[in-house]
Amino acid sequence: MIRIKRTALCLLIIFALIMTAFIGCSQRSGSDDELVFSGLVELGTGPGEYLPGTDIEVVAISEDAAEMRIEGQTAHKKAGDSVDWHGPIDPGVDLDLALRVLWLSGEVVQTGGTAKLTIQDADPRPATVQSNSDIQYALPVTFTVRKGKQIPGTLIEYMGKDAEKGAEFAGIEGYPFRKVADSLLWEGALRDNVWLSMELRVILFTDNTLQVGGVAHIWVDQ
């Protein structure tokens, strides 16, 4: 069991290094009111439970395999095997999971891989996150924003560069200027059932362009 865990963790690290160059951004895709968040995730599920947001049920766990019910059929998954899922998890929210079984214990099937959340008809508004949903993700994000445009998923608008004070913003409380490496925080709702909290840092800015990066925490209520 220890050898399996170590091998699985090594595979995850290698996988993460390979995928970092391709995943870890969140941006508008398609229409202006569609948001896409994607990145690496790790999900653990026990017997009698479902992978959050999916209809994949863990029925039982043995020493070397997990019995799962996928699309109504029985599947036995060992460490290293794939567990994929795609579909709507709520009206206006689609989820893509590409996972691998990392390790097994008597109580948990631990999976890791990538998640992609697509949110339709996003209508950002400031609000305190009020969700205890099991469907929650913390995904890395980067955004490049033109002057006069808002950071996707927020009402924070980039107003341009001040030579002394730094990047100027509208749609935030208090002091509106930030310099490179300064923080920007946003908390609100994207839809009635989708909550977003973002912790961002200013990466660079010019007279016409801003780049920020950080982590997006997303909750989906069902």
* pLDDT attached to residue 33: 78
pLDDT of 219 higher than 70:
yes
Helix/strand/coil (H, E, C) string of the chain? CHHHHHHHHHHHHHHHHHHHCCCCCEEECCCCCCEEEEEEEEEEECCCEECCCCCCEEEEECCCCEEEEECCEEEEECCCCEEEEEEEEECCEEEEEEEEEEEECCCCEEEEEEEEEEECCCCCEECCCCCCCCCEEEEEEEEEEECCCECCCCCCEEEEEECCCEEEEECCCCCCEECCCCEEEEEEEEECCEEEEEEEEEEEECCCEEEEEEEEEEEECC
Sign of CA dihedral 159, 141, 87, 90: negative
Q: Which residues of 5-18 are buried (b: 16+ CB within 10 A; e: fewer)?
A: eeebeeebeeeeee
* pLDDT attached to residue 22: 43
pLDDT of 136 higher than 60:
yes
pLDDT digits (tens, 9 = 90+) for 169-211: 999 999 999 999 999 999 999 999 999 999 999 999 999 999 9
Given a contact cutoff of 8 angstroms between Cβ atoms, the answer to whether 105 and 73 are in contact is no
Determine the average pLDDT of the residues in 129-152. Answer: 95
Q: What percent of the chain has pLDDT over 70?
A: 86
Q: What are phi and psi of 214, to 5 degrees?
A: 170, -140
* pLDDT attached to residue 120: 95
Given a contact cutoff of 8 angstroms between Cβ atoms, the answer to whether 162 and 177 are in contact is yes
Given a contact cutoff of 8 angstroms between Cβ atoms, the answer to whether 155 and 127 are in contact is no
**Nearest to residue 215, comparing CAs of 145, 153, 125?**
153
pLDDT digits (tens, 9 = 90+) for 97-107: 999 999 998 89
| 57, β-bridge pairs | 50, 69
Average pLDDT, the chain: 89
* pLDDT attached to residue 32: 64
* pLDDT attached to residue 5: 52
pLDDT of 152 higher than 50:
yes
- Integer CA distances (angstroms), 170 to 59, 163, 189, in order: 51, 17, 18
* pLDDT attached to residue 17: 39
Q: How confident is the model at residue 7 (pLDDT cuts 50, 70, 90)?
A: low
* pLDDT attached to residue 13: 43
pLDDT digits (tens, 9 = 90+) for 45-82: 999 999 999 999 999 999 899 999 999 999 999 999 99
**Nearest to residue 102, comparing CAs of 54, 57, 43?**
43
Given a contact cutoff of 8 angstroms between Cβ atoms, the answer to whether 197 and 187 are in contact is yes
